[in-house]
Structure 1
């Protein structure tokens, strides 16, 4: 019903159909996902006429009760990320029919995640994929095809026979009107053409990298600009949800983050919560120190439009990992695509943090991950770090004194070599050996006659 063309509905007049066509409202789903007020603005008609069209369509398209056997084919599908621990954190993987957001700092691994999913969506269903293709919409950057080929070559579950560049369609959208045109016209046409072509894979994933770049402006912020921005966000999200539900797609939107500044508590009425108090529940994560200093861009309006928010964070932490965990199945030797996140001097690997801020299919959680030649890989809890030999931490739990306070290692999950060493230097630790402590007490307590010193000279 939602995919019915409005031009084919017999109960709409010719004038009403012409107005809907002028506003580029083509299907019942597109009509029902906008309010009568927005419909009137898009179609350049009065609010009364827009409400009349809206009511007429709703009355003639009332939902019908169906049995579960009839809706079995409409169930959502799940695409694996290629990492079992990451799939578990996301509730099984990336589900279709939803709008997913991955936000984070620059170089946190957002694009790596998107590229990885663009490949795994092509994999057969029996191997965790959707046997489909991806549409990758870029805003200001270029699609890194070299990195895509590196992931194909390095990941143990991928191969050129299963996935490749031929099933990733890309288009650039430098501004908001072009993005709206892509989502409302170009993308539906591409999806329909792919679905009707037996020799091509249907589109199952749409990526936008990165949405917040469209809303950067040097203009002065006013009430008018904020209203326009909110309207654009709602229109874009409406198109995304329409695509996701109509064609059973997984929509992945990459977003940026902004700094959180503490300006004190805002004055609120009795029982009310300030925006700062509320935003920590939907805009940021706080599982490790420093993660809560960033929050997702585009504000509360955009947060209400997405089903899942995932935050990627750069922690500045490092761990000494086994070589098999850092390197891929086939190591690059030509130097064209060096394995990221590995320092050549000491071999410590950069650790990043992924947090599910909110989700309609999975509980909030946080895991550590690294970015290798094979893509994003979560560090399991049983992958113990390899501490340096001169570490002041006990190698086993039995070696630690039972009455000793919790070490820094127990306060950082998982063990962060760089951060722990830094904290150790900034804190006062009792590192005096027991023997030295006894001698120190001896010289402080025993009264030795001065004549003894004189006789020894």
Structure 2
């Protein structure tokens, strides 16, 4: 019933149907996806009249309870190209949902978005959707050279089944520009591709990165916070409309902000839990050292708009891998290395930088985490049960033995992960209190000293 045309409903007057037509609302589902306030703004009618139309349609279209066997699952799943990453994400990237990946710079967010933009093009037999991608950039440029590198290196990709021609890109440097793209340009492109059998339909929309639109030097006031919340809600509504109406997977990249613990109590002045205590469950993860010091940008308003939130972290750990291809250092577009060199581990040691992916919350899978690395083929997971043996020569050297001992004593990480202590505040092994006391008792010092 929710797909019925509004123009055919007998309980709506001619004036109401005309107003709905001016607001570009065609079906009952289109009407129920907007709030009465948005309905009044789009149709240019009074709020009370909009609320009356909304209530009338809801009364004649009550929700129907169905069993799970009667539900027609129209969701499609796009693989990430790695079976372990697919398991963490609940099978892969599902359509009809808004996904968020946030993390610090060089954590691999853009690498994942580029990888999915190519894998969505492959046929379903290889884990794709035989579709195309729309990549919206805010301030950066789409790294086409990196896309070509992934096509050449990934085992599931080839120029015959995917390419740059099926990745549409546009820049949205301002909030009004992004809203115009999501409300006008992108829906027209999606409809055009859906009606043409000779081209691949749009199955993935990427926004890289949303938080960049809200960087401002203006003083934060109640007015600016209200305006930001309204803009976030409007952008979210447009994204969810695209995802649900056209069965598209929407991937939004986000930044992080630092978490400062000022020693506030667990309860607020009103008696409930403070925001800092609540944000631990939706703002970030805490599976490895350093994750809890960062949380997703845009606050609670944006956290309520996404179906799945995934965090990517640079752990600072390194691991020896048997495959020598992982020892290559890949360059980003700005010339900087994708791998931050740890001073504690020489580059020639053959240890590759380990990153961490954590599902903070999801409507389809429980929270979980997995280590991963960035290679020429994209992002590849390192499951805990993988047998990773270090090199026989360099690993036994005194330098690496000392580094490994420091890493293991500093944190309970895998024995093959090295260089982790360099990212902590601990600079050396802790001194035994008993040995320290014996030193001061036996060492002769002058009274002045």
Q: Distance in 2 between matches of 1:383 and 1:131?
A: 35
Match of residue 322 from structure 1: 322
Unaligned residue ranges in structure 1 (runs of 5+)? 401-405, 431-443, 445-457
Q: Distance in 1 between matches of 2:57 and 2:337?
A: 56
Paired residue secondary structure (1:153): helix
Match of residue 341 from structure 1: 339
Match of residue 379 from structure 1: 382
Distance verdict in 2 for CA 1:242–1:346, change over 3 Å: same
Paired residue secondary structure (1:363): coil
Q: Distance in 1 between matches of 2:80 and 2:375?
A: 14
Match of residue 306 from structure 1: 306
User: Which structure 2 residues correspond to residues 376-455 of structure 1 after superposition, within 5 A?
Assistant: 376-381=379-384, 382-384=386-388, 386=390, 387-390=395-398, 391-392=400-401, 407-408=408-409, 411-413=412-414, 415-420=416-421, 426-428=428-430
Match of residue 283 from structure 1: 283
Cα shift readout 1:13-61 (whole Å, capped 9, x = no counterpart): 4443454455555553343223223332444432210111112222344
Q: Distance in 2 between matches of 1:290 and 1:342?
A: 15
Q: Say if 2:121 and 2:166, in contact at 8 Å, map to a contact too.
A: yes
User: Which structure 2 residues correspond to residues 54-453 of structure 1 after superposition, within 5 A?
Assistant: 54-63=54-63, 71-72=71-72, 74-266=73-265, 268-269=268-269, 272-324=272-324, 326=326, 340-341=338-339, 344-381=347-384, 382-384=386-388, 386=390, 387-390=395-398, 391-392=400-401, 407-408=408-409, 411-413=412-414, 415-420=416-421, 426-428=428-430
Q: Distance in 1 between matches of 2:27 and 2:139?
A: 31
Question: Displacement of 1:235 after TM fit?
Answer: 1.5
Q: Distance in 2 between matches of 1:198 and 1:276?
A: 51
Greater radius of gyration (CA): 1
Q: CA RMSD in A?
A: 3.4
Spell out structure 1 runs of 4+ moving beyond 4 A. Answer: 1-11, 21-27, 63-71, 335-340, 420-425
Normalising by structure 2, what TM-score?
Answer: 0.84
Q: Say if 1:3 and 1:246, in contact at 8 Å, map to a contact too.
A: no
Q: Distance in 1 between matches of 2:13 and 2:298?
A: 39
Distance verdict in 2 for CA 1:354–1:388, change over 3 Å: farther
Q: Say if 1:393 and 1:407, in contact at 8 Å, map to a contact too.
A: no
Paired residue secondary structure (2:281): helix
Cα shift readout 1:160-193 (whole Å, capped 9, x = no counterpart): 1111111111111122222222222222221111
Q: Say if 1:150 and 1:337, in contact at 8 Å, map to a contact too.
A: no
Cα shift readout 1:391-420 (whole Å, capped 9, x = no counterpart): 44799xxxx9xxxxx952871146431124
Q: Say if 1:327 and 1:373, in contact at 8 Å, map to a contact too.
A: no
Question: Displacement of 1:370 after TM fit?
Answer: 0.9
